[in-house]
Each structure stands twice: as C-alpha cells, then as structure tokens.
Amino acid sequence: MADIARLTEIVEPEVIALGFDLVRVKVIGAEAGEGENALQIMAERPETGQLVLDDCAELSRRISDRMDELEERGEVLIDEAYRLEVSSPGIDRPLTRPKDFANWAGHEAKIALIEPVDGNRKSLRGDIAGIEGDMVLLDDTKSGRLSLPLDQIHSAKLLLTDRLIAATRPIDTSGVEDVVEEQED
C-alpha cells in the first residue's frame, strides 16, 4: 500500500516550485483491485484553476525525476509498477482542501462520507454553502442544511451543471494566435 502522506511530502515541493497549487495526490488501480497502478497528481495554477499541457509535462518530469532519485536511494514509494498521471482538476473537480469548499460555495456537489449521517446516509448531494472552521456546510437535496466535519469527508466532487460552466474561468488560450495552420495542396 502506498503512503499518500509520504507521496504528498515528495510531490508538493515540486508543485510549489513551479508556482502551482497541489489539489490531490491519489493512487488508483491495482491497490483497489482495478488493474494497473497509477499515481494521480492534480494541480492548478492559482490564478486560473487549471494546468495546460506544457504545465503537466513540466510537472510530470520534475516529479518523476524526484521519485527516481528517492527510489535509487532505496526508498520504496509504491510497491508495484505504476504510471504517473499529472493533470488539471477539470471543471467537475474534486474538492479536497478547505478553500475548495469556500471557493465553490453555491455550486452542486456530491459528497461521500466516512461515517453515515442523517439516517445512515453516506452519500450526499446538494449545493455547497461554504465552510466554517472545519465544518463543511451543504444544502443537501434531501435533508436541508447539514454541517459535515471535514475529516469525515471521504470524497467530494463538483457536479457538472450549467451554473458551474458559466462560473468557470475560460481555458487559457495564450499563444493560440501564434498557431499557424497549414493547408494541404
């Protein structure tokens, strides 16, 4: 089993060095019985909330070099073979940090809890109403306003809605005017 805290400790300085914010570090795949392992890193530029392809490639190289260096010294970071995936969190992004719940208040999310609440429900859906201290406020579609301890949230993700699309910053198109299209003869 991979130590997510240790992986985060390795990855986060590389993310910060490039001026990005770390959104999530997750190992998916074989450890969950789903085939090949993948180390999934999600990061974003703080000013845009996204990464472009060149950002992903640069971050991937940095993380890969750092992990190779540690593995050459004998540290086993992930028990099995794995592939590294670096990406932007996307429009229907995971909510992993307290600031995510503040920044995306007013948008619909799906939240999975570690322990059940409100009549044994572990899966909730509704509009995020913000965060107060370590409590996430959710206007649940079935139960109304709930206060959920942040440490009891297993996973949370924005749901793709017209409201979310309208509120999302446009994709970075800098440099697009420099693209030259060639016509076939």
pLDDT band at 168 (very low <50, low <70, confident <90, very high): confident
> Is it true that domain 98-167 has CATH number 3.10.20.30?
no
The pLDDT of residue 176: 52
Amino acid at position 136, single letter: V
The pLDDT of residue 34: 57
pLDDT band at 37 (very low <50, low <70, confident <90, very high): confident
d(CA 122, CA 1): 25
CA angle, 29 as apex, 94 and 117 as ends, to 5°? 45
pLDDT band at 29 (very low <50, low <70, confident <90, very high): confident
CATH of region 4-87, choose from 1.10.150.80, 3.30.1540.20, 3.30.300.70, 3.40.50.300: 3.30.300.70
3-class DSSP state for residue 117?
Answer: strand
What is the tens place of the pLDDT at every residue in 40-98?
999 999 988 889 999 999 999 999 999 999 999 999 998 888 999 999 999 999 999 99
Contacts (Cβ under 8 Å, ≥6 apart) of 4: 25, 26, 27
What is the tens place of the pLDDT at every residue in 100-123?
999 999 999 999 999 998 778 899
Domain ranges of the chain: 4-87, 98-167
Structural contact between residues 157 and 110, judged by C-beta atoms closer than 8 angstroms = yes
Count other Cβ atoms within 10 Å, centred on residue 171: 11
Dihedral angle sign, alpha carbons of residues 31, 151, 155, 112: positive
In the chain, what percentage of residues exceed pLDDT 70? 86
